[in-house]
Structure 1
Amino acid sequence: MGVSELDVAIVHDGLASDAVALVDRLVDERVASQLAAQDPTLWGPAAQPEASIRLSWTTLHETSRPLLAEVEALAAELRAEGIDRVVLAGMGGSSLAPEVICATAGVPLVVLDTTDPGQVADALAGDLRRTVIVVSSKSGTTVETDSHRRIFESAFAQDGIDAASRIVVVTDPGSPLAETAGEAGYRKVFLADPNVGGRYSALTAFGLVPAGLAGADIAALLDDAAEAARVLAVDGADNPALRLAAALGAAHSVGAEKVVLADTGSGITGFADWAEQLIAESTGKEGTGLLPVVVENADAPGFADAGEDATPVALGPATGSARITTTGPLGGLFLLWEYATAVAGRLLGINPFDQPDVEAAKKAARALLDNPSPTGPTTAPNVVDGPVEVYASGNWMSAGVASVADALRAFLAAAPEHGYLAVQAYLDRIDDASTSLLRAELARRSGLQTTFGWGPRFLHSTGQYHKGGHQNGMFLQVTGAVVEDLDVPGRPYTLGELQRAQALGDGQVLAERKRPVLRLHLLDRLAGLAHVVKAVQEVRG
């Protein structure tokens, strides 16, 4: 699971010298040892009430140990019954860590963090007689996860399978999901530590249960985290978490508000996607923060040519463009980045444990579900170009726009200095995977730091930063026609209607914050995406 030694290297001389003073300050203030001791005063009086109930993640390498035997016992039971296919229904912190753990370990895990009907239908098409679904939600009310639970429960029943015996729940004590599971007699309920926030929950039941059931070595993760905890609690200049936090804080203080993450041979699959949520939700608020930009590799646009507004961080061995590198085993890296992000919050003067702007998009989506209209906030497209409808929010579109390429040119021309572009694809993360290629193409042509997120998955990640962080973002939404929709049992909407409401609701909230929003709706997904790619290629940098 990656390099054995936990380390942070600041390989840029200027950044290293700027970070020294901050590291010395953090050491003098005994921040590392106080964080390890769960001191809620580290972020000031306003943050103290939230921090006091959000710091149990610092001891999970010890407190999560009893889970190991429980998970192994359930896994053995399932194997004995011929159940060896694990589906995880969870969003954000409930799915990102187990996906990284399983991908790195090379064990299969079907992750449902989508409302796309096609992607959910593909998961349903697997052999249900070999399937157990882990329904994972801290609040117990996550709409996507509740929809998946209802759909799978119905599918099991229709296939003549005792649904309750195939549903495992991970949630907080006393949540609505815990009550539902008890009433329905679901196979097993794992109650997680309520004093750990979702994005810090990698080593709680949310990360360990699905990964352990899928066959990953979760005991090794805790062993690695235990070794890291010993190092990260030390008030010393060599503490890697203090070094990482100080480097990010120093970079931000001189305008580098973006953190560009590239894997350079870490041996860990998808770690940047997990770190993306941790950094964005923890720091992106009160008009400040660090925007994580996940890129394809160290040669990708945005990393190799990062400007003064961005800090390239190599996840793995050093590369020529990197200014910071982090290495270590997965369990240790989880804890390293959690420590560093919490300390960076102190340096930025914000509370790293709340997410005050996440609820806005959820409320807008619920309002659209309650009062549906044919196309949402915009009653008709601004332009129809072959298989693509163009919808614009804001005053950036000129009268002469007649095509997707025209719209993209006008949109990018409105970019603020040192701004960023967020591409948001409300599509099938598997069948429409090539959509992610838009990130590099648009970054190359726009010169902007460019992120890519699958909707609604990113709403539980970078969605907080988009509303609460530096207000210099531009947002390109890509939505697609639904050919075969799925009903959500017991709910007055389909998955396709929920997906549409989530896209339009988030776009509406961003537009209300005076951010430019361009939505490209693919009337035919295959032809529409090809048309968009061609239009992007017509845009010259």
Structure 2
Amino acid sequence: MSSLGFIATGAAQLAVETHVGALAAARVASRIAAKDLTLWGPDAEAEASVRLDWVDLAETSRALLAPIAALRAELRAEGINRIVLAGMGGSSLAPEVITATYDVELVVLDSTDPDMVANALTDRLATSVLVVASKSGSTVETDSQRRVFEQAFGDAGVDAKQRIIVITDPDSPLDLASQAAGYRAIFHANPKVGGRYSALTAFGLVPSGLAGVDIESLLEEAEEAAEFLADDDTDNIGLALGAALAGTVPLRDKIVFSDEGSGIVGFADWAEQLIAESTGKSGTGLLPVVVENNDPELAACSGQNDWDASDMLLVRLVADTADLDDEQVFENRDQVIVSGSLGSQMLLWEYATVVASRLLGINPFDQPDVESAKTATRGLLDATPAAVPAMLTDGAVEIRATDGLLDGVGDLEGALAALLETLEPRGYLSVQAYLDRMAESPLGSVRALLAEAARRPATFGWGPRFLHSTGQFHKGGPKVGAFLQITAESALDLSIPGIPFTFGELISAQATGDAQVLADLGRPVLRLHLTDRDAGMAQLAVVAARLTSNRK
């Protein structure tokens, strides 16, 4: 019996009643477990044929347990106790959730912000090891981080080869280069698992295990759930959750995640990539919106404000659904309530996402629009065009925008108001911050304030990491998004050994490139550049609060 718990009410329950019987009759669950590549239509078969090995990772990944434990013991014996992970998207989101939930330290370096990279370099370098995680090694962020760490180790008199561990697909360019370089260890991931489904591969397990997580228990939790999730039964929670996510009419495509003491730290951030990147294509998709207690989206889903919540589905993550009484369930809401251990929930949401993709009629394993921002970034780095002058400057904020957005606007408040005015009835606001995500900032509250002002859901993403996750939805999903991009001056910059650009130039090109792609798709983009980080952040928070107050 699985430890997973599931409750659906309102539109979600109707979707379950409508679709689960047919899904069970079509043997969708057992066919997923059997790696049936025909489940998502002929156009998806080629990709599905090399992307379904995630279903039995609870068993096949056990071969990793002994070598991870042995390497961890070696490192600890040498006094190496700080694990830094260089990885983007699927290569870092799962280990970040796993280690946070188990309360062990893992430094996740998934940014090109010079301040964040510099902080990772200067903190306890003598007792650090770098784990480089990339399926191919071509990811520019990860390659740049490897280069700067390798140089820093050498400059500190440390043998860099003994301080670099690699996770990659077998025979990838990174695999071959790492063998030639003589790095301490190379772990091969299963090449038939895509990044966002890789939580239980070497990408999730190696950094987590080296940091001190009991990864065997994680696999046991997933194994317990696997048998249940493969059953063609109307009680199958994987089928029910997939139906609730994608089977509502009209489609409630804004999936509002609220953690109510689940005990899993940051789970929604991992699920965000899984769901958005898998489903956000062909003009459709599901957009996770991660909120905190008292945020306006949560009030909307609960009927406590005057928003139109007809496109929102509430997902409540709790410790145990069995402990909820009727007053805690709130039967009148359009919601699902989910509980379970971390390993079991990871497998559950992977099953549910591919079930939802079948109902949406899309391929859950490709990401056709992710490359567009990378291509634009490479073009900007190669051409190094002159900087575009600001259209407006207000205090510590330089303002730029897509054509026409700033017509008649004279200050920051007017610019934000103009962006919010572009939102359609089923639209969403995407707040994107190309900054050091480890630094304290008021951006979370700014997101909530702007959502309140717009009366529309707002997502928040740290650049450039969201380019490897929700960036697919922004370009391939419904064209109803409005985009607020925040960049800032840095007090320092870092060169990248062997590369003709700096980290500061790289993150600037990534922001500009993504804005360019969104603008080319006809989406409104407001770009705010903080000439002074602290002053600009404070100014933005004050203006967002005033805008919200004025629009009530």
> 1:206-285 counterparts in 2 under 5 A?
206-251=203-248, 253-285=249-281
Q: In the aligned structure 1, how far is the partner of 2:443 from the partner of 2:142?
A: 24
Instruction: Say if 2:510 is the partner of 1:502.
Output: yes
Contact between 1:86 and 1:131, CA under 8 Å: does it hold in 2? Answer: yes
Q: Which residue of 1 aligns with 2:51?
A: 54
Matches within 5 A, 1:4-15: 5-10=3-8, 12-15=9-12
Given the two structures, how large is their TM-score scaled by the length of structure 1? 0.97
Match for residue 99 of structure 1? Answer: 96
Assess, with a 3 A threshold, how the Cα gap between structure 1 residues 319 and 536 changes in structure 2: closer, same or farther. Answer: farther
Q: Which residue of 2 aligns with 1:488?
A: 496
Query: What's the counterpart of residue 306 of structure 2?
Result: none
Match of 2:396 in 1: 387
**1:221-265 CA distance string (max 9 Å, x none):** 0000000001000001110000001111222x4131111111111
Mapped to 2, the partners of 1:38 and 1:5 lie a distance apart of 24
Q: How many residues align?
A: 531
Residue 253 of structure 2 aligns with an amino acid whose one-letter code is: E
> C-alpha displacement at 1:382, in angstroms?
1.2
Match of 1:341 in 2: 353
Give the distance between the partners of 2:425 and 2:213, measured in 1 at CA: 45
Contact 1:369–1:498 (8 Å) recurs in 2: yes
Aligned to 1:369: 381
Q: Tell me the equivalent position of 1:356.
A: 368
Structure 1 match to 2:74: 77
| Cα deviation code 1:262-285 (max 9, x no counterpart) | 111100000000000000000000
Quote how far apart the aligned CAs of 1:433 are: 3.6
Q: What is the distance in 1 between the residues matched to 2:237 and 2:352?
A: 8
- Alpha-carbon distance in 2 for matches of 1:132, 1:511: 40
Residues 14 and 361 from structure 1, CA distance in 2 versus in 1: closer, same or farther, beyond 3 angstroms?
closer
Aligned to 2:317: 315
Provide structure 2 residue ranges, at least 5 long, that are not aligned to the other structure. 302-308, 322-327
**8 Å Cα contact 1:284-1:464 kept in structure 2:** yes
Query: Which residue of the partner structure matches residue 485 of structure 2?
Result: 477
Cα deviation, residue 432, structure 1: 4.4
Partner of 1:300: 295
**2:378 and 2:135 mapped to 1: Cα distance?**
20
> Which of 157, 175, 184 is the matching residue for 1:178?
175
Q: Return closer, same or farther for 1:461/1:425 CA change in 2, 3 Å cut-off.
A: same
Tell me how far 1:445 sits from its aligned partner: 1.2
Q: Please tell me the residue identity of whatever aligns with 1:46.
A: D
Q: Which residue matches 2:324?
A: none
* Alpha-carbon distance, 1:414 to partner: 1.6
Letter in 1 for 2:82: R
Q: Provide the rounded CA distance (Å) in 1 between the counterparts of 2:174 and 2:298.
A: 42
Say if 1:102 and 1:322 are closer, same or farther in 2 by CA, change over 3 A. farther
Displacement of 1:396 after TM fit?
2.6
Query: How far 1:213 sits from its partner (Å)?
Result: 0.1
Contact residue 394 and residue 514 of structure 1 kept, 8 A: no
CA positional deviation for 1:14: 3.8
For 1:340 and 1:373, the matched residues in 2 are separated by 44
Amino acid across the alignment from 2:213: A
C-alpha distance in 1, partners of 2:480/2:403?
A: 14
1:485 touches 1:496 (CA, 8 Å); kept in 2? yes
- 1:199 and 1:277 in contact (8 A); partners too: yes
Query: Which whole-Å deviations, capped at 9, do the CAs of 1:198-234 have from their partners, x for residues lacking one?
Result: 0000000000000000001100000000000010000
Q: CA deviation at 1:326?
A: 1.1
Structure-1 separation of matches of 2:385 and 2:273: 32
**Partner Cα separation in structure 2 for residue 9 and residue 267 of structure 1:** 18
Cα pair 2:441 2:537 within 8 Å, conserved: no
Distance in 2 (CA, whole Å) between partners of 1:53 and 1:133 is: 29
Do the aligned residues in 1 keep the contact of 2:11 with 2:334 (CA within 8 Å)? no
Corresponding residue number in structure 1 for 2:325: none
> What do the CA deviations read for 1:387-409 (whole angstroms, capped 9, x no partner)?
1000011323222x111001111
Kindly provide the amino acid, as one letter, of the partner of residue 107 in structure 2: V
Counterpart selection for 1:536 from 510, 531, 544: 544
- Whether 2:119 is the aligned partner of 1:122: answer yes
Q: CA deviation at 1:115?
A: 0.5
CA contact (8 A) 1:423 1:453 kept: yes
Q: 1:486 and 1:120 mapped to 2: Cα distance?
A: 8
Cα 1:246–1:255, aligned 2, differ >3 Å: closer, same or farther? Answer: closer
Q: Given that residues 12 and 334 in structure 2 are in contact (C-alpha distance below 8 angstroms), is that contact kept between their aligned partners in structure 1?
A: no
Written as runs of structure 1 = structure 2, the 5 A alignment for 1:156-167 is 156-167=153-164
Within-5 A mapping of 1:421-436:
421-436=429-444
> Are the aligned partners of 1:259 and 1:310 in contact in 2 as well (CA < 8 Å)?
yes
Partner of 1:18: 15
Name the % identity: 56
Say if 2:27 is the partner of 1:30: yes
Deviation of the 1:70 alpha carbon = 0.6
The SS at the match of 1:304 is helix
Cα separation, 2, equivalents of 1:261 and 1:114:
24
Once residues 392 and 407 of structure 1 are traced to their aligned partners in structure 2, the CA distance between those partners, rounded to angstroms, is: 9
Which segment drifts farther, 16-25 or 163-172? 16-25
Q: How far is 1:418 from its partner?
A: 1.2
- The one-letter amino acid paired with 2:397 is V
Contact 1:394 1:515 in 2 (8 A): no
Kindly indicate whether the alpha-carbon contact (under 8 Å) linking 1:242 and 1:340 is maintained by their aligned counterparts in 2: yes
Would you say the 8 A contact 2:3–2:225 is kept in 1? no
Instruction: Give CA deviations for 1:325-345 in whole Å, capped at 9, x if unaligned.
Output: 111000000000000001110
SS of equivalent residue, structure 1 residue 369: helix
Structure 1: tracts of 5 or more residues without a match: none
Q: Is the 8 A contact 1:245 1:341 kept in 2?
A: yes
SS in 2 for 1:41: coil
Q: What's the counterpart of residue 288 of structure 1? A: 284
SS in 2 for 1:496: helix
Cα shift at 1:89: 0.4
Shift of 1:483: 1.4
RMSD (CA atoms): 1.2
> Moved runs in structure 1, 4+ residues, more than 3 A?
317-322
**Matched residues in 1 for 2:528 and 2:64: separation?**
45
> What is the rounded CA distance, in whole Å, between the counterparts of 2:79 and 2:424 in structure 1?
56
Cα 1:432–1:501, aligned 2, differ >3 Å: closer, same or farther? farther
What letter matches 2:205 in structure 1?
A: L
Measured after TM superposition, the shift of residue 319 of structure 1 is 5.5
Cα-to-partner distance string for 1:507-529 (whole Å, 9 max, x where unaligned): 00000000000001000000011
